[in-house]
Amino acid sequence: MLLVILWLVQDLLTVFIGGGMQIPGFFMLGVAYKLLIDEGNDDSLWAIWSAFAGGALWDLRWVGIPGFFTLGYVAVVLVIIQVWGLIPPQGRISGTGWLVFILLEITQLIPPMLPVLILGGNIGWSYFLYQQAYSLPAIFVTMAIYSQKVRDMKV
């Protein structure tokens, strides 16, 4: 339910802003957060299907060409699953601050970069760079929530 709410918030902010600025990918931050928090759950098929559905809806709603964000969202989920799976469960709690930041950053890096690379980057790069700048506060808030959750799980 949280992912649906995040997708709707992202969509509504995009509507209200009217193209004035790029909205961070709150939906993908939510998917990444849930993947990083789920310690005992090895079944991550829900994340792949959630990313596929969220990306397809975003493509149909805003891009008009299905596949760009769908591919990016699913690729991000697969990267997070693979990288996070390489770390033993004992090591996931301590000392992974930079890794968590990198994994959250690729949620904002890969999906908006695919249309720019496929369709051409003359105008798209400025939108991409603005989106990266606007997404940093959302990444830091997600990292703070993740850190608090890890601290609570440790105690």
Residue 135 has pLDDT above 80, yes or no: yes
Is 7 within a domain? no
Please say if the pLDDT value at position 145 is more than 60: yes
Establish if 100 belongs to a structural domain: yes
For residues 45 and 22, the answer to whether their CB atoms sit within 8 Å is no
Please give the Cα distance from 68 to 35 (Å, whole number). Answer: 22
Mean pLDDT of the chain, nearest integer: 84
Domain that holds residue 100: 27-150
6 within some domain: no
Q: Could you tell me if residue 5 is inside a domain?
A: no
Is residue 71 in some structural domain? yes
Confidence of residue 69 (pLDDT cuts 50, 70, 90): confident
* Domains in the chain, number: 1
Position 146 in a domain: yes
Q: What is the mean pLDDT of residues 113-137?
A: 77
The four Cα atoms 109, 54, 26, 149 give a dihedral, to 10 degrees, of -100
pTM, to two decimals: 0.87
User: Residue 12 domain-assigned?
Assistant: no
Model confidence band, residue 80 (pLDDT cutoffs 50, 70, 90): very high
Could you tell me if residue 19 is inside a domain?
no
